[in-house]
A and B are shown apart, each in its own frame.
Chain A
Amino acid sequence: MASFKPTKIQVYPKLGEKVTQDTLYWKNYKAPLHIKEFGAITNIDFSPVAPHNFAVTAFTRIHIYGPFSQEPVKSFTRFKDTAYCGRFRSDGQLLVAGCEDSVVRLFDVSGKVALRMFKGHTKAVHVTDFISDRYQILTGSDDYTCRLWDLPNATELNNYQEHTDYIRCGVASKLNRDLFITGSYDHTLKLFDARVDKSVMTMDHGQPVESLLLYPSEGLLVSAGGRYVKVWDLLKGGQPLVSLKNHHKTVTSLCLSSSGQRLLSASLDRHVKVYNTTNYKVVHNFDYAASILSLALAPDDESIVVGMTNSILSIKHRKSLEDSKEISGQQRRRPSYRVFVKGKNPVPKQDDYLVSKPVKQHLAKYDKLLKIFNVTKALDTALATWTRHRKPEITVSVMKELDRRGTLKNALAGRDEQALTRLLNFLIGNMVDPRFAPVLVTAAEMILDIYRSVIGQSPLVDRQLLRLQELLEKEIDYQQDLLEVMGMLDTMFASSFPRMEVPCPGISRANGLAGGDGITLRPQIQAT
């Protein structure tokens, strides 16, 4: 005697992106923390020394936040106009920032007043950075020049006037005290050597350059401008390596993950994309509420900080192991494991005769009802609120099973207004789902057949029937549109593909029996 076979619940493939190691890694952040700043956030820079505070440049201020603080631990407000590019020195003691009023200011992180003011630029300074010897700074300005300054006596050391447009990004080498790179709106990237008066390498990005990034090894340079992110090989004399076009608006900021395995790019299209640096494929994507101007990753990827045009600073912290443990610890208030296995795991001794207990088959409630052929109740159970909303596939599978048994009509019939409303609600919610449509269409037809005589008696049911009709009409229109698009695509494909000729060497000669003069070998099939 076979046992009752439970209703098979169809497993549908999970829609959406596939779960990869990357998604797991990049999803493992807490809900973002939003901090309102005074204006568009143009730059975020992490301090290289612990506790890794970060400087946020927004409008006329630079705020310094601690790793877990929601309030700024320090702010620099002594700017006459919009501040730009607040950056830490490699020891985390000094901070340099440019300003719309062309003055570059140097601050002590613990102090308030600027230690030095570098005056010499004639227009807004958008780029500032420390040279790796820690005693010089690099600035780039809208007056098309970039300059090197001496920190101790605030004097200009060098002035390069090679760019022909605004200089909006620049980066100094961390390994060499003489090298730095600037990118400009004249579409070029220039590598300068402080020992000579000219640039030593020029690369053409093809778009106004918005951001630059040097790999830790400094063999590769990444530039962002327009919709493109380009990777250059500096050791091969500035040869372009890859050109990535994954954003549909200007890319504004670049950042490298702590391991150097992933590259992040932020754009005005409100996305942050994560690339694998071995094959430069997008492996993950973050969405934000507004256009992104700046992006920074804390050391060890502890947090992702994003600044947006709507002056919101969004900070996402990584979920720590303790956090996840804490949560699971709070949830578990069940009896201990020992309670469940009590008396269930004795090991039989050598001479013991083991009498096995029949395994009791566990059946879901609707299966129990189906087993005793109680079809209406089985459908009611499957239409219970939780099942209907959370697992519509169960409801649909039960309907399918009833249809297979030929009793769906019986199960649908004889319902009062409330039960019918529930049923119609379910149909309206799931009818157009392509996974469920074949089953639900049959059910809907049956409902219309059964309750045709009572239409017009309940305004509630009538309203729902009208909604169902509307829904179906909309769906039909939609499908029609889709078919039209398909037709258009087909013609386009057909005209774009070259026609392939199938070689048929034998078709002219001996492929038919009629022309079969050459056939000498004929079987003589005779039966004795």
Chain B
Amino acid sequence: MVGHGDIRVVHRGGSKINSRQPVITQDSRFLLCASGECVKVFSTSTEECVHDLRGHTDAVTGVLLKPSNHLQVYSCSADGTVRLWDFTEGIHIKTYVIGYPVYSIYASAHHEGVIFVVTPMLNDKRSEVFQLVAVHLPQSGDQLVEALELSAVLSDVSSNPSAIGFGKGGEFIASAKGLHLEVFFFKKQKSYRFSLKEDNKKGGKNTFMCVACHQKEDCIATGHEDGKIRLWRNFNHKKEYTYSTLHWHHSAVSSLCFTPEGTNLLSGGLESVLVQWRYNQESQRDFLPRLGSAITHIAVSPDGALFCTSHSDNKITIIQSSVKVSAVIQGLVKGESVRTDLMVDPRSKSLVLNGKPGQLQFYSLQRDKLLYNLDIVQQEYIHESGLEQFEVVKAAFDASGSWMATVEERNQKAAELELNLKLWAFDEQTQSFVLNTTISTPHEARITDMCFCQAADSQTTMLVSTSKDGHFKAWQLSAAAHTEDEGPSWSCDFVGAYHGLVPERCCFSADGSLLAVSFQEVVTVWSPASWELLTTLSQPPQAIRDLCFGRLSCSKYLLGTTASKLLCCWNLLTCSLEWSTTMDVSLLLADPLTENMAAFCFQAGGTDLFVFKPSEPRPLFSHKAVCSGKVTRAIFSPREEMLESCEESSQWLNRSQLHFLTQYMDLMTFTTKAEEDRLLASSRQLVVDDSVAMTPFYLLLGKHRQQDTEDAVSSSLSSDTVPQSSAAIKQLLQTPAHVMPSTSYLCSMFVQSLLISVTDTREENKHAEEKMDSEEEDSEEEMEPSNPRPQHASEGGPEAPALTKAQLRELRRVRKQDHSWSAGFL
């Protein structure tokens, strides 16, 4: 039967990078951030990902530079380990096993060998109560170390990593939770607790959101839910503490950060404005507005030259200290739900879905990189909670990718639904979509489905939209308008209805000659050429949920799923039901490149996948329990190059890849073993030096560089072998210079000693040696082939056929040319 031995479900890209505060390295060249189960190292200048530090088996919950070594970094994870990495090379150094899930990590230069982690209360793993624990890291050479020396510092702390901060010189640690601020002094081993009233008179909420401590002075800044920032001073007394209040934010302050010298305080929140307060001159503020979306974390580089803010839309912005945005690292934006379906842009082959509010994102699956965001709504986004915004709810591409249709809607409680249908034309010059037509209120009620005619050879493109108002409308590109200044625009061609029923789904056949529209339990088939109702198919008693035409050789079949857990296949030639089967299909989709169809079935809390051809009774592939929960969004994306797998069960993955979104908005895909192997091989190849990312420019220049370094390595290696081979030379090199005779005397002897072993002296050789004498600096290198050759042979080295001198010189000349060429290039 069908097996799935070598097909696996894997996570592929699109993980969050904004979950924890990013870290900028000492030299400001790299930015490290927790991303799913790995730590990503980005270059701050090129925005490219340089390394993935992989090793954790659960979500990474914190990244921290090792205070004593600025080239190493700690990462903690919910899997109960803290790992130490060398981020420049991407090497894993050590693992400390804590034994409890770690939620955040802190360290200070004044507490050598100790890290502070937040774990759940030891006695109760399930509880929501957390404590701050000091972990003494054992000094041991092993890779895997068990850290057993734990001592509780503060109990009842927040699991939010920004609610704890080290104070001036590591003297104290401040932690905020709820309405209490607790400061623990290490010297006195004493903690002070300060409380605020729940609500002040004006109705603001005083709950602490975040804490930041001044590094030079005794000052703690706290952010509050009502948008206030309090600066606490004199807190080493129980009663005489003071605080001053700064207020600019209108909603909760989500992150605070002092610059290393303490001259500025940075704050951010929902308004997506980075506010820079001058320390001690708080009336002076600098603003960096319109950063895109709410700020969740702020970090400053150790030298204070760069700030970076992470945002709720999975974005990290790198900002120069002159308050100018210098780079943006954007991940896949995932909200609570994908309103638009997953789509593939036929041109760039990128995954398209709605991302930031009012925008569509184009995400390259191959490179795991966000290509660009297209602003659909084109309105100023107001960062305020509880405001109804325009959202992109539907999008569709035509077969060639030259047209895109989007639907945006805003549903206010009191007013009526605002709907806009926009049609975008692909502009070859700018390589992006340009708005062509805006149709306001195309339907009176919400649009349920929308699809383009997918026929590749059709003269005119047609779009069909179905709506809850009981109509479906066909839109067509009408010819150029009467006056010259307007290009062609879209207009309504046909309005169809069927017995006042609500259309749910629509689908064009592969050649565009048929349109199927489902009206509750009835499927109507129309001819788009004449807008005639050709036939109706129905499968009572439940409404049609999904509708899909077969492709290629199976294009005579129309498949539908109903809410009553039926999958039906109609033959359109006979207009009769070909087969049907009972399964609760939550999603049915067709592979555009093959006849294959994929059905995700919801069964007993999990989802199963079946891949089948409509014409064949047996499924090609099935996979039980792909993930838990329902799968409602999936897409076949074409591969860049075809796989050549001959195994029956994995053939369906040869031309396209199946991606799907789980309940928790994780993007998953199916891979075969062969593919994984290939990927592994290519990733080894891709190890790149330092911060230079794999850019086309690098590929051009880097090859030569690599060759150079290889040359250098080989030459240095061979030159090393020379002195070891001859005792005379060793002696020569080890004797102090002042006791040796003059160089002119030694030189000829030295050369002579080298020449002894060579028996077949030819004229050519002589000539070469004469030349060699003249170039003194090269002389040592020149010697290599003559002496070590026999040894190499005895060792069984790979280079058994030795090069003749002439060949060698030729080679060197080529190298020299290479050097000069690359120098000229640089």
Contact = CB atoms under 8 A, between A and B. Distances in A.
B379 A19 contact: no
Contacts of B288: 1
B578 A525 contact: no
Interface in A498-528: 500, 502-507, 509-513, 516, 518-519, 521-528
What 6 pairs across the A-B complex have the smallest Cβ distances? Answer: A506-B576, A506-B575, A510-B576, A527-B622, A5-B380, A527-B624
A525 B380 contact: no
Given A2-B292, A406-B384, A502-B535, A524 B410 contact: no
Contact of A509 (B384, B537, B576, B618): B576
A116 B69 CA distance: 126
Interface residues of B, number: 59
A3 B581 CA distance: 55
Given A504-B536, A523-B618, 13 more contacts: A2-B292, A3-B290, A7-B380, A401-B379, A403-B412, A404-B389, A438-B415, A438-B416, A507-B536, A519-B579, A522-B579, A522-B617, A525-B612
A18 B292 CA distance: 43
Contacts of B386: 406
B289 interface: yes
B792 to A, nearest CB: 54
Interface string A485-504: 00000000000000010111
Contacts of B382: 404-406
B366 interface: no
Interface string A37-60: 000000000000000000000000
Contacts of B375: 5
Interface in B185-238: none
Contacts of B3: 528
B521 to A, nearest CB: 11
B577 interface: yes
B378 A8 contact: yes
Given A5-B378, A5-B380, A18 B539 contact: no
B533 A502 contact: yes
A215 interface: no
B535 A503 contact: yes
Interface string A386-424: 000000000000000101111000000000000000000
B579 A504 contact: no
B577 A512 contact: yes
A521 B579 contact: yes
B574 interface: yes
Contacts of A516: 577, 580
B577 to A, nearest CB: 5
Given A19-B483, A525-B619, A525-B622, A405 B578 contact: no
Interface size, A (range):
35 or more
B566 interface: yes
Interface in B411-427: 412, 414-416, 418
Contact of B1 (A7, A20, A442, A526): A526
B312 to A, nearest CB: 16
Contacts of A509: 576
A511 B539 contact: yes
11 contacts: A4-B380, A6-B380, A11-B438, A505-B574, A505-B576, A506-B535, A522-B617, A523-B612, A524-B618, A525-B583, A528-B622
Contacts of B617: 521-524
Contacts, number: 129
> Among the interface residues A509, A519, A525, which one has the most CB atoms of the partner chain B within 10 A?
A525
A504 B290 contact: no
Contacts of A506: 535, 537, 574-577
A438 B419 CA distance: 12
Contact of B536 (A6, A19, A502, A518): A502
Interface in B695-742: none
B405 to A, nearest CB: 19
A10 interface: yes
Contact of B482 (A10, A20, A405): A20
Interface of B: 1-4, 288-292, 325, 375, 378-380, 382, 384, 386-390, 410, 412, 414-416, 418, 438, 440, 482-483, 533-540, 566, 574-581, 583, 608, 610, 612, 616-619, 622-624
A393 to B, nearest CB: 12
A525 B610 contact: yes
A65 to B, nearest CB: 37
Contact of A10 (B289, B440, B535): B440
B419 to A, nearest CB: 11
Contacts of A522: 579, 581, 617
A504 B574 CA distance: 10
A505 B535 CA distance: 8
Contact of A519 (B416, B536, B577, B618): B577
Nearest to B292: A2
A525 B583 CA distance: 9
B577 A528 contact: no
B585 to A, nearest CB: 11
B575 A513 contact: no
Contacts of B534: 503
B379 A513 contact: no
Contacts of A518: 576
Nearest to B412: A403
B497 to A, nearest CB: 13
Contacts of B610: 525, 527
Contact of A513 (B2, B415, B539, B618): B539
B575 A505 contact: yes
A401 B382 CA distance: 11
A518 B378 CA distance: 56
Q: Of A7, A406, A527, which is in contact with the most chain B CB atoms at under 10 Å from its CB?
A: A527
A484 B436 CA distance: 38
A502 B496 CA distance: 15
Interface string A1-29: 11111111011000000111000000000
A519 B415 CA distance: 52
A303 to B, nearest CB: 27
B535 A504 contact: yes
Nearest to A24: B483
Contacts of B390: 404
Contacts of B2: 527-528
B505 to A, nearest CB: 19
Given A1-B288, A502-B536, A523-B612, A510 B415 contact: no
Contacts of A503: 534-535
B290 A1 contact: yes
Given A522-B579, A523-B617, A527-B624, A512 B536 contact: no
Nearest to B538: A511
Contacts of B416: 438
Nearest to B498: A502
Given A10-B440, A512-B540, A523 B566 contact: no
A507 B524 CA distance: 13
Contacts of B291: 1
A19 B325 contact: no
Contact of A511 (B412, B440, B537): B537
A527 B606 CA distance: 14
A509 to B, nearest CB: 6
Interface in A193-214: none
A525 to B, nearest CB: 5
B294 to A, nearest CB: 15
Contacts of A519: 577-580
A91 B291 CA distance: 83
Contacts of A19: 482-483
A30 B604 CA distance: 81
B380 A513 contact: no
